[in-house]
Amino acid sequence: MNDENEIERTAARLKAALGAAATVMVVRPALERQRVEREFEGVKRVRGWLIPLAAAASVVVIAVGAVAVAHLASPDGTRPAGARGGSPAAAQATRPEYYLTATYPATGPNVLQFQVRRTDGGAVTSSRTISGANVGWGGYLTAAAGDRAFYFAKYPCIQTGIPDTTFYRITITNSGRISGFAPVGRPVKGMVTTLAVSPDGSAMAYNALEKACATGGLTQPGAASVSVADLSTGRVRTWQDTDATQMTLASRLSWTPDGRTLVVDESVRGGLRGGLTVYGLDPASSGGSLQAHSTTLLRPGADCSTCVKTALAGPDGSLIALQSPAAGKPGRTVIVRISSTAGRHRTVLFDGPLQNPGLFTDASGQWVLLWPAQSVTAGWISGGRLHPLPGVGPVNPQGIAW
């Protein structure tokens, strides 16, 4: 039984079996993968004499095992970053386990209520309220990577003088309990209207208007500027839109997953209907001109029947964009992924009957959240479908993040 021919035949059978097992491990879900691994362990225990296989068979085993491990490290089936034979692709990030909402209750005391909810089922795992007296805030919440640290900004809503805006960090435990609720960094001058924390939580990007609780924000000083504050040192750098041909407003900010680029949405002021100009700002630069330190990622086209209304950083240098409804399709929402090649290639992620929703993503840019402010239907997108977030409708939040 131990002659060379028998060993070679055994090696060939093992090679084929391992090849089949590797294929199954790539395309089956995790439970099936575990079953195959258990069967393979049984195969290894069948005969002790299989241990001294020929060197060639050992090489085959190692090679096939390496392929299987490489695929297992890429749950979405894409080639791992840095692999040869194709462009790097980001591994599928885990869907956020929790999300945070902020709302002013319809009745009762004047408070701003924060609630942590579990994505599966919508159960409230923790809550915290602060006084709503003289509190102004931009309505945006933001989260660092890993959905364990959320941030918001508030300023005293006074009628005279320029307010100082304070950033707050809300930390939660692995069970979703709020473990920290405190100011972070130094107060910044002005009324913050939009903000985005870097994926690692070290820096806060924001836009600050230089007047207190005033209307007409589109014409206020600072509307077309973007700042980044180091939350440890308090150092602030600011970039100003220096394009004198149009009046613009920095309407949304988002970070690429690697934290190396800040995506800036610039809207046209004055009520003119038009798409966004989207910049990719280098946050490591020293400040100054927004255009001088940015790459233009997207410009509005002449035909604005399907203009981009919001564009956020997505994975692999892409943008996740909310398009305005096409002509003849009122009340519909289209979410697209725009490739990094000058915005030419667009993949539809969702097309459905939603009225004017807000667009949000997690820190990876892979998990898209839609929030129709006047509707009970809010949820995350996967497979072209909107998966409702339980509990969001009843609280009608003024802010949401995950």
Q: Based on C-alpha coordinates, what's the Rg of the chain?
A: 26
Task: Give the model's pLDDT for residue 214.
Answer: 60
Last-in-domain residue among 57, 72, 87: 72
Q: Is the pLDDT of residue 3 over 50?
A: no
Q: How confident is the prediction for the chain on average, in pLDDT?
A: 76
Residue 87 in tokens? 């462009």
Residue 352 in tokens? 């459905």
Last-in-domain residue among 72, 90, 117: 72
DSSP 74: -
For the stretch 272-303, pLDDT in tens is 555 689 999 999 999 999 999 999 999 876 65
Last-in-domain residue among 36, 56, 72: 72
The verdict on 33 and 136 lying in the same domain is no
Higher pLDDT, 177 or 14: 177
Can you tell me the mean pLDDT for 155-162? 76
Task: Give the model's pLDDT for residue 30.
Answer: 38
Q: How confident is the model at residue 245 (pLDDT cuts 50, 70, 90)?
A: low
The verdict on 24 and 170 lying in the same domain is no
Higher pLDDT, 362 or 89: 362
Quickly count helices (H) and strands (E) in the chain. 4, 26
CA angle, corner 105, sides to 214 and 120, nearest 5?
Answer: 115
CATH number of domain containing 266: 2.120.10.30
- β-pairing, 225-230 with 236-240? antiparallel
Task: Give the model's pLDDT for residue 275.
Answer: 67
DSSP codes, 181-249: EEEEEEEEESEEEEEEE-TTSSEEEEEEESSSS-S-GGGSTTTTEEEEEETTT--EEEEE---TTS-EE
The verdict on 162 and 259 lying in the same domain is yes
Place of tokens 């020293």: 286
Helix axes 55-72, 4-27, angle to 10 degrees: 0
Angstrom distance (rounded) from CA 41 to CA 34: 11
* 84 located within any domain: no
- β-pairing, 358-361 with 368-371? antiparallel
* 345 located within any domain: yes
Task: Give the model's pLDDT for residue 273.
Answer: 52
* 400 located within any domain: no
The verdict on 391 and 357 lying in the same domain is yes
Task: Give the model's pLDDT for residue 47.
Answer: 34
For residue 160, the enclosing domain spans: 98-395
Mean pLDDT highest for which of 184-198, 291-305, 343-357? 184-198
Q: Is the pLDDT of residue 260 over 90?
A: yes
Q: Are 400 and 369 in contact (CB under 8 A)?
A: yes
Q: Is the pLDDT of residue 144 over 80?
A: yes
The verdict on 61 and 210 lying in the same domain is no
Can you tell me the mean pLDDT for 146-159? 89
The pTM of the full predicted model, rounded to 2 decimals, is 0.75
The verdict on 67 and 104 lying in the same domain is no
Total domains present in the chain: 2
* 263 located within any domain: yes
The verdict on 142 and 265 lying in the same domain is yes
The verdict on 138 and 228 lying in the same domain is yes
* 91 located within any domain: no
* 251 located within any domain: yes
The verdict on 20 and 103 lying in the same domain is no
Q: How confident is the model at residue 223 (pLDDT cuts 50, 70, 90)?
A: confident
Q: Is the pLDDT of residue 78 over 60?
A: no
Q: How confident is the model at residue 231 (pLDDT cuts 50, 70, 90)?
A: very high
The verdict on 167 and 50 lying in the same domain is no
Angstrom distance (rounded) from CA 156 to CA 163: 6
Task: Give the model's pLDDT for residue 135.
Answer: 83
